């Protein structure tokens, strides 16, 4: 079942075990005398293999929710369990290790390490997870080939287009075979065509069983998800199951062995 | 800069609301009435005018250099706001920039202040110790003295306002008895009329003389001698002279001032005044009772001459009075000594010499400071690239952008130069404290130069200006970097596209540099100039690199050229030895800088290989911290190269000085052999009552042989040289000196087979002479002319003025010990020139193996106090000399270590900025599972790598250079090179540890970055 704890928007009984269970999550930002309650007691359950879109207007708390649920940020109250492990009681070191083992991240600004090549960026989480260097290198290259960057293995981020950089980010998020991938506006910095390519790639990965939690303010992107929640003023105000998953671009996803059409390089002004 | 049409005069500009965004472009700024900023401009202009009117050239230069920035400050509010807010935005970093920049000014200022202090102190000693005495006319014996006095009195000289006859001899004086007996073997016993002495020069208070002329059994003692003997009023003292004794009672103690404080009458600098004023007739009575006969030196008559004016202004008439005296004394056997002017010249020369020495060594640190500034400003420009791009996009002109950036730099330069000047005064004080101790050790008990701290306005202004100009120039040139920012690339933070290395401008510069470098190189190879030999090939190498850019593979090309320059720079002083023999300190500065810069270039182009090697040592790909730590310095080659150069330059100088210092210490036995020439002890004694060789022989069974020589203070000058005559001790010797005290020769005339042949030939030939290597350079470091075999020298009797010309046939390795420079000539010549002043007062004593030379020297001193015996073992002399040398090198090392502070601070600044630059990246790493410990390790790995590499480059180059120096024979022949591993390792370890400590804070800061916070930061 895909639901929050209060059952809002539930669309039927779940067949899959939950991978994320969050209850009463509160997050307050304090700047001097001013305090802003970014999350006001959010409850959320996400099943393994689900593709969840987190939507909402700017400043509604979407990214904060993602950061808190993934353990990137501390929370002020509540409880978060990911893949059976409770994040809120973990030390920073354990939480970090848990992230390395179970999670992958895709950011709007790509956030690649500029001094590393594409391969080196992708193998990074594998090495952190303790994979042998040679195996990590092979897995990284395989993943990059899968996302269509077989010709760009040794390029540094500054030598790649925005779409290519985002695909490296996706490859990095996937290389360690995480159980859950968090994507924060992954298409925000891309043109429409490249964004579609990236989304179809994510859709394909989701169909392979990956849990994907995606933050976006783009309704078209949100419509490709299996389930959609709406965040407003730090609360989940809507939770909707979109079944079957609408993936208009899915048909256009190229086979994994073939690279997709080259993403458009950001045109020079 | 304003290209838009001006606003109508009647339309005042609306006031700018606080916090409002800057206007889109400075083109759009309407002309304003002289409101706030304009008023500021008026004030600044008035300040500039004030500086022009009353303060001097240097403040004017500062104001002129600042005018463009004052203009921007006053009339370009947008640029002013940008600059000031950028400074204020990060106060901690602003402070670090100021600290980095101020050290350059501080180093230059302190060097100048050290020079000021020495100059002023010696000037002061000239004024206090010589008082009204401007010239001294010296002659031998009372009769000649009377002739001098009569001739001068008869001439009624225009420039002279008074004369004072003195009659003086060097004697031993003792006080007390038994175990508490104290003695001064070289006291100056003086007879003079105290009434005339008080009137001498027209200012009794400047003479130091009080009371009537000592009479009967009484004497007046100078404060220096009273301290040595531990006596006061009423105490008896005994004078030993000409084999006779006279006991006198002290009836007053005179200060070291004016006539009472008269020091040596010739050129000796900073000596004490061990004076004893005795009743007239005392010296003659002692001489008449002389049981030693003609074997002793007679007293000297001195006519002290005071020029018109006071103690300071009188010296200005020296040239005139000297001429008048020489004319008046024609035919009289006397020498006119410009005592005060000579002392003042010596003061200026020593002050300038020390300033130069400290400036040159400080220049390494200044270079490091410049590199730091360049690095910081390039980083600032990179950090602000996007906002600078935005400013360009909204209409800020390129020149305005450079202006804004330069304005910020000007503020830093101004503040840092001012602060640096103040810090420089403090450093100067510290150096003086250390130098005082060294001087007191170097001169022994006969030198008492009280260093009075002095910082002239001129020096402070020069230090300020130099630091200000260096900082400003560095910042302005670096600011040009921002001028080339491409708006779109900057806004989108895209990397700069690769330059076309084959473009015409690069080619032209390459041709120009190659041509200039080749010309310098050719000049150097033809034997003209050591600087050209270092700089020429370096410039040529740079030119060749530019010519080959884009045409040949980069890494091998740069590696080959940089290696060639490094190898040549190390080898050049050996290959072109004659050019480098006369090399000044600047050559060593150029050598050090070229070596390090090209070595760093070599390392920089090969960083990937070095990094790969280190990674493989550190656990390969598994060691993520190391991998990440190396990735950044390897990717940012410019920044890393600058840091490497900073470390390499300073460590190079420190390790070189440490190695050389250690080398000196390891050469004690070799040096004893060279200086002593087979003798174990040297015995100097009062020429008026010399120690007899037979007496020494009787004193110990360990004495194997004694070579008696005469030592007379004489003046020498290289023929053709414009330098003044310098004082030397002319050692008159015969064959007995060969093998028993003849010091090792560095070079000699080719027609002599052995060193012994040279000494025998000189002993037999009164037209030849053997001098020391630094004969012509004044014994003050490298840089002076070098005496060579075959050169002619003029010898002048320091008392009679009689001259003779001699030819150098041998050059001694080391001719200076115990503060005296020696020149070796035939005893026959000495006797002929100096007559009864040439007595056997300098004995070279050879002893049997196992003899305790120090004990024997002490026994001689104790036994022959009356003769003023001053015996020392050569071991002690060499040890003392090395101790002083090492202490001085330590002082210089401490001074150079200031540059290390700049380097370490620079690394700290770069790491602080690196943490800021990479917050997002750290956030991502943390999100991906990089632990906070791993982040900290990565940053520490980065700083460790840079520090270790820089330290490594500097250390290796220093050891190679030291090896080359030792094997070049510059420090004597037959010496072996050794590395003082313990000291080098300690130096390296401390530098490395300090670097890690300095970068620990940013590393910890980086490890505490919360991923979610870091990821929220916008670019």
How far apart (Å, rounded) are the C-alpha atoms in residues B468 and B415?
A: 9
Q: Does B149 touch chain A (CB under 8 A)?
A: no
- Whether the CB of B928 is below 8 Å from some CB of chain A: the reply is yes
Residue among A109, A128, A158 whose CB faces B928 most closely: A128
Write the residue in B920, B929, B1015 that is nearest to A125 by C-beta. B929
Give the whole-angstrom CA distance, residue B618 versus residue B625.
Answer: 10
Min Cα distance B938 → chain A (Å) is 13
**B-chain residues within 8 Å CB-CB of A67?**
1011-1012, 1015
**The pair of three-digit structure tokens given for residue A55, joined into one six-digit string:** 């939507």
Q: Nearest C-alpha of chain A: how many angstroms from B28?
A: 25
Confidence (pLDDT) at B265: 52
* Cα distance between residue B747 and residue A163, in whole Å: 77
From the number of C-beta atoms within 10 Å of its C-beta (0-12, 13-18, 19+), residue B92 rates as exposed
How big is the A-B interface in CB pairs under 8 Å? 88
Any A CB within 8 A of B491 CB? no
CB B832 within 8 A of CB B766: yes
- Does the interface predicted TM-score (ipTM) exceed 0.90? no
Residue A100, chain B, CB below 8 Å: the answer is yes
Q: How far is CA A43 from CA A46, A54, A72, B916, in A?
A: 10, 13, 18, 35
Give me the residue label for tokens 């009458």. B265
Which residues of chain B carry a pLDDT beneath 70? 1-56, 178-179, 264-271, 290-297, 393-395, 439-449, 482-483, 485-500, 527-528, 581-583, 620-621, 776-787, 816-820, 969-975, 1016-1019
CB–CB of A72 and B1012 under 8 A? yes
Among candidate residues B188, B172, B347, the one with its CA nearest the CA of residue B264 = B188
Q: What are B835's two structure tokens?
A: 């007559």
Q: Would an 8 Å CB–CB cutoff place B628 in contact with chain A?
A: yes
Instruction: Give the model's pLDDT for residue B405.
Output: 80
Closest-CA distance of chain A to residue B546, Å: 26
User: What DSSP designation does A12 have?
Assistant: S
Mutation site for A-interface testing, chosen from B928, B941, B1011 by largest number of A Cβ within 10 Å: B928
CA quadruple B569, B570, B574, B577: dihedral positive or negative? Answer: positive
Chain B residues 905-924 with CB within 8 Å of chain A: 920-921, 923-924
C-alpha span between B137 and B119 (Å, rounded)? 26
Find residue B714's DSSP bridge partners: B728, B797
Q: Does B64 contact A at CB distance below 8 Å?
A: no
- Give dist(CA B569, CA B578) in Å, integer: 15
**At B541, which helix (H) or strand (E)?**
helix B530-548
Both structure tokens of B441? 């050790």
- List, in order, residues 6 or more apart from A91 with CB less than 8 Å away: none
Instruction: Give the per-residue pLDDT at B781.
Output: 37
- Alpha-carbon span B731 to B740, nearest angstrom: 14
- Residue B924 to residue A136, Cβ atoms within 8 A: no
A70-104: pLDDT as tens digits: 988 889 999 999 988 998 888 888 888 888 888 88
Contact between B929 and A116 using a beta-carbon 8 Å cutoff: no
> How many whole angstroms separate alpha carbon B421 and alpha carbon B110?
8
Tell me the shortest Cα–Cα distance from B642 to chain A, in angstroms.
19
Per-residue confidence (pLDDT) for residue B488, from 0 to 100 = 65
Distance CA B769, CA B780 (A): 22
Distance spanning both ends of chain B, measured CA to CA: 31
Cα gap B116→B133, rounded to integer Å: 24
Q: In angstroms, what separates the C-alpha of B495 from chain A's closest C-alpha?
A: 6
List the single residue in B622, B923, B929 with the smallest CB-CB distance to A100.
B929
CA distance B131 to B115: 23
Helices assigned H by DSSP within B727-846: 755-764, 827-834
**Tokens 């003798």 belong to which residue?**
B679
CA torsion angle B397 B400 B401 B404 (round to 10): -160
| Tokens at B181, concatenated | 């007996």
CA of A253, closest CA in chain B: separation in Å? 27
Contact A77, A22 (CB under 8 A): no
Distance from CA of A217 to the nearest CA of B (A): 17
CA–CA distance, B938 with B919 (Å, rounded to integer): 13
Interface touch B1010/A73, C-beta < 8 Å: yes
The predicted structure's pLDDT at residue B449:
63
| Whether A93 and B931 lie within 8 Å, measured CB to CB | yes
Task: Look at A111 and B621 and tell me if their CB atoms are within 8 Å.
Answer: no
Q: How many CA atoms lie within 13 A of B396 on its CB side?
A: 26
Q: Name residues whose C-beta falls within 8 Å of residue B361's C-beta, 6 or more positions apart in sequence.
A: B653, B892, B895, B896
CB contact under 8 A, A115 and B624: no
- Residue A36: its chain B contacts at CB < 8 A? none
Rounded CA-CA distance B293/B347 in Å is 40
Q: How many residues does chain A have?
A: 269
Q: Residue A66's closest chain B neighbor by CA?
A: B1012
Contact B621 A136 (CB under 8 A): yes
Give the pLDDT score at B862: 81
Question: Do B927 and A105 lie within an 8 Å CB cutoff?
Answer: yes
Q: Chain A closest CA to B621's CA: distance in Å?
A: 6
Cross-chain Cβ contact B924/A70 below 8 Å: no
Per-residue pLDDT of A215-264, as tens digits, reads 988 888 888 888 999 999 999 999 988 865 444 333 333 333 333 333 33
pLDDT for the residue B657: 87
**Whole-number Å distance between alpha carbons of B37 and B32:** 9
Which of B634, B1012, B1019 is the closest to A67 by Cβ?
Answer: B1012
Which candidate, B817, B676, B667, B822, places its Cα nearest to that of B743? Answer: B676
A154 touches chain B (CB under 8 A): no
Cα(A69)–Cα(A18) distance, rounded to whole angstroms?
A: 14
Render B660-729 in DSSP notation, one character per residue: HHHHHHTTHHHHHHHHHTT-SEEEE--TTSPPPHHHHHHH-TTEEEEEEEEEEEEEEEETT--SPPEEEE
- CB of B621 less than 8 A from some CB of A: yes
Of B631, B636, B929, nearest to A96 by CB-CB distance is B929
Is B624 close to A129, i.e. CB distance below 8 A? no
B824 secondary structure, DSSP code: E
- The pLDDT, as a whole number, for residue B734 is 92
Please tell me if residue B497 touches chain A, with a CB cutoff of 8 Å: no
Instruction: Output b/e per residue, B159-185; b: 16+ Cβ within 10 A.
Output: bbbbbbbbbbbbbbbbbbeeeeebbbb
DSSP conformation letters of B183-236: EEEEEEEEE--HHHHHHGGG-GGGT---SS---TTEEEEEHHHHHHHT--TT-E
Structural contact between residues B302 and B257, judged by C-beta atoms closer than 8 angstroms: no
- pLDDT score recorded for residue A245: 47
Query: Peptide bond preceding A72: is omega within 30 degrees of 0, i.e. cis?
Result: no
Q: What is the pLDDT of residues A145-164, one digit of tens each?
A: 988 888 999 998 888 888 88
What is the full DSSP assignment across B943-958? HHHHHHHHHHHHHHHH
Where helices occur in A61-211 by DSSP H, the ranges are: 62-70, 92-102, 118-128, 133-146, 162-175, 192-207
> Among B620, B1015, B1016, which would you mutate to test the A interface (most chain A Cβ atoms within 10 Å of its Cβ)?
B1015
- Using CA coordinates, name the residue in chain A closest to B636: A115
CA of B4, closest CA in chain A: separation in Å? Answer: 27
How confident is the prediction for chain B on average, in pLDDT? Answer: 80
State how far the Cα of A224 lies from the Cα of A222, in Å rounded to an integer.
5
| Assigned token pair, A132 | 């042998």
Helices (H), B549-636: 554-575, 577-581, 585-605, 607-617, 624-635
**A189 and chain B in contact, CB less than 8 A:** no
Q: Which residues pair with A236 in a beta bridge?
A: A231
Instruction: Determine, for residues A127 and B920 on separate chains, whether the beta-carbon distance falls below 8 Å.
Output: no
- The pLDDT confidence band at residue A26, using thresholds 50, 70 and 90, is very high
Cβ contact, residue pair A73, B1011, below 8 Å: yes
């Amino acid at each position: 079942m895909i639901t929050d704890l209060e059952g809002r928007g539930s669309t039927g009984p779940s067949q899959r075990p939950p991978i994320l269970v969050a209850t009463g999550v509160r997050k307050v930002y304090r700047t001097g005398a001013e305090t802003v309650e970014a999350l006001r007691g959010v409850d959320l359950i996400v099943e393994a293999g689900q593709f969840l879109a987190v939507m909402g207007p700017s400043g509604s708390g979407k990214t904060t929710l993602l950061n808190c649920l993934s353990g990137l940020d501390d929370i002020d109250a509540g409880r978060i369990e990911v893949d059976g492990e409770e994040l809120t009681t973990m030390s920073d070191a354990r939480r970090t290790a848990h992230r390395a083992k179970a999670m992958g991240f895709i950011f709007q600004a790509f956030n690649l390490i500029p001094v590393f090549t594409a391969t080196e960026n992708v193998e990074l989480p594998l090495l952190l997870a303790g994979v042998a260097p040679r195996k990590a290198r092979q897995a990284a290259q395989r993943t990059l080939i899968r996302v269509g960057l077989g010709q760009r293995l040794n390029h540094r981020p500054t030598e790649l287009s925005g779409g290519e950089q985002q695909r490296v980010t996706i490859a990095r998020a996937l290389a360690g075979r995480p159980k859950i991938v968090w994507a924060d506006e992954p298409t925000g910095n891309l043109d429409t065509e490249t964004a579609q390519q990236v989304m179809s790639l994510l859709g394909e990965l989701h169909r392979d069983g990956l849990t994907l939690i995606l933050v976006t303010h783009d309704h078209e992107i949100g419509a490709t998800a299996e389930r959609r929640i709406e965040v407003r003023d730090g609360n989940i105000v809507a939770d909707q199951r979109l079944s079957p998953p609408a993936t208009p671009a899915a048909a256009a996803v190229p086979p994994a062995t073939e690279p997709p059409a080259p993403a458009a390089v950001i045109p020079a002004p | 800069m304003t290209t838009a049409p001006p606003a109508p005069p009647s339309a005042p500009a609306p006031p700018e609301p606080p916090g409002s965004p800057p206007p889109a472009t400075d083109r759009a700024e309407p002309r304003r009435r002289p409101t706030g900023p304009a008023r500021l401009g008026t004030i600044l202009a008035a300040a500039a005018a004030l500086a022009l009117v009353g303060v001097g050239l240097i403040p004017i230069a500062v104001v002129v250099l600042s005018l463009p920035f004052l203009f921007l400050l006053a009339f370009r509010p947008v640029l002013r706001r940008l600059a000031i807010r950028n400074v204020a935005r990060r106060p901690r970093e602003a402070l670090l920039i100021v600290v980095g920049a101020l050290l350059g000014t501080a180093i230059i200022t302190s060097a100048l202040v050290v020079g000021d202090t020495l100059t002023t102190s010696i000037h002061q000693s000239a004024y206090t110790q010589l008082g009204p005495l401007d010239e001294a006319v010296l002659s031998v014996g009372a009769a000649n003295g009377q002739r001098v006095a009569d001739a001068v009195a008869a001439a009624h000289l225009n420039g002279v306002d008074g004369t004072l006859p003195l009659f003086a001899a060097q004697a031993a004086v003792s006080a007390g008895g038994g175990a508490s007996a104290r003695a001064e073997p070289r006291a100056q016993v003086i007879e003079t009329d105290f009434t005339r002495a008080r009137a001498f020069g027209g200012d009794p208070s400047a003479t130091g003389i009080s009371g009537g002329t000592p009479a009967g059994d009484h004497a007046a003692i100078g404060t220096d001698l009273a301290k040595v003997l531990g006596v006061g009023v009423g105490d008896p003292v005994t004078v030993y002279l000409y084999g006779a004794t006279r006991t006198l009672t002290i009836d007053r103690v005179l200060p070291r001032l004016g006539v009472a404080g008269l020091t040596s009458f010739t050129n000796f600098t900073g000596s004490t005044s061990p004076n004893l004023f005795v009743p007239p007739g005392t010296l003659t009575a002692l001489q008449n009772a002389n049981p030693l006969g003609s074997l002793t030196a007679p007293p000297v008559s001195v006519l002290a001459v005071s020029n018109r004016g006071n103690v300071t202004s009188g010296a200005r008439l020296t040239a005139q009075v000297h001429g008048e005296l020489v004319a008046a004394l024609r035919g009289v056997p006397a020498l006119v000594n410009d005592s005060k002017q000579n002392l003042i010249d010596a003061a200026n020369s020593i002050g300038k010499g020390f300033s130069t020495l400290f400036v040159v060594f400080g220049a390494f640190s200044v270079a490091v400071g410049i590199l730091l500034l360049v690095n910081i400003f390039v980083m600032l420009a990179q950090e602000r690239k996007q906002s600078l791009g935005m400013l360009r996009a909204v209409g800020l002109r390129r020149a305005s952008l450079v202006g804004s950036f330069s304005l910020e730099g000007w503020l830093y330069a101004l503040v840092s130069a001012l602060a640096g000047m103040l810090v420089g005064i403090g450093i100067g004080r510290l150096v003086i404290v250390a130098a005082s101790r060294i001087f007191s050790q170097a001169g022994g008990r006969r030198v008492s130069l009280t260093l009075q701290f002095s910082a002239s306005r001129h020096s402070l202004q020069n230090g300020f200006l130099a630091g200000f100009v260096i900082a400003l120039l560095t910042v302005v040139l670096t600011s040009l970097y921002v001028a080339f920012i491409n708006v779109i690339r900057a806004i989108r933070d895209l990397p700069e596209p690769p330059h076309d290395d084959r473009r015409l401008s690069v080619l032209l510069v390459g041709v120009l540099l190659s041509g200039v470098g080749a010309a310098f190189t050719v000049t150097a190879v033809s034997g003209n100039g050591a600087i050209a030999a270092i700089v020429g090939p370096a410039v040529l190498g740079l030119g060749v690199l530019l010519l080959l850019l884009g045409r040949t593979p980069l890494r091998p090309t740069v590696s080959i050229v940089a290696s060639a320059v490094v190898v040549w720079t190390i080898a050049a002083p050996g290959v072109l030895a004659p050019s480098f023999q006369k090399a000044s300190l600047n050559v060593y500065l150029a050598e050090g800088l070229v070596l390090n810069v090209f070595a760093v270039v070599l390392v920089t182009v090969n960083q990937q290989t070095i990094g790969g090697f280190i990674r493989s040592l550190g656990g390969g790909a598994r060691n993520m911290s190391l991998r990440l730590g190396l990735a950044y310095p390897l990717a940012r080659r410019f920044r890393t190269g600058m840091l490497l150069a900073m470390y390499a330059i300073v460590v190079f100088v420190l390790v070189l000085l440490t190695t050389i210092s250690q080398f000196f210490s390891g050469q004690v036995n070799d040096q004893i052999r060279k200086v002593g020439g087979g003798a174990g002890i040297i015995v100097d004694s009062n020429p008026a009552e010399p120690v007899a060789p037979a007496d020494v022989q009787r004193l110990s069974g360990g004495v194997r042989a004694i070579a008696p020589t005469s030592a007379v203070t004489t003046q020498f000058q290289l023929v053709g040289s414009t330098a003044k005559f310098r004082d030397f001790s002319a050692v008159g010797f015969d064959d007995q000196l060969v093998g028993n005290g003849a010091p090792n020769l560095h070079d000699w005339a080719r027609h002599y087979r052995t060193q012994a042949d040279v000494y025998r030939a000189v002993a037999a030939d009164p037209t030849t002479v053997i001098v020391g290597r630094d004969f012509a350079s004044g014994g003050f470091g490298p840089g002076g002319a070098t005496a060579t075999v075959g050169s002619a020298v003029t010898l002048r009797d320091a008392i009679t003025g009689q001259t003779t010309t001699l030819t150098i046939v041998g050059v001694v390795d080391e001719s200076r010990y115990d503060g005296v420079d020696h020149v070796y000539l035939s005893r026959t010549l000495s006797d002929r020139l100096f007559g009864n002043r040439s007595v056997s007062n300098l004995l070279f004593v050879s002893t049997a193996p196992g003899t305790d030379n120090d004990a024997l020297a002490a026994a001689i001193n104790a036994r022959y106090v009356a003769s003023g015996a001053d015996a020392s073992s050569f071991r002690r002399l060499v040890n003392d000399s090395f101790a002083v040398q090492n202490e001085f090198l330590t002082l210089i090392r401490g001074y150079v270590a200031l540059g290390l502070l700049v380097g370490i601070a620079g690394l700290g600044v770069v790491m602080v900025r690196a943490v800021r630059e990479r917050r997002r990246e750290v956030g991502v790493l943390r999100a991906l599972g990089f632990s906070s410990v791993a982040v900290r390790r990565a940053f520490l790995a980065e700083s460790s790598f840079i520090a270790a590499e820089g330290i490594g480059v500097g250390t290796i180059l220093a050891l190679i250079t030291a090896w080359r120096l030792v094997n070049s024979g510059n420090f004597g022949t037959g010496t072996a090179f050794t590395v003082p591993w313990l000291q080098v390792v300690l130096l390296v370890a401390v530098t490395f540890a300090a670097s890690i400590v300095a970068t620990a804070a940013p590393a910890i800061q980086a490890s505490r970055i919360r991923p979610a916070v870091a990821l929220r930061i916008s670019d």
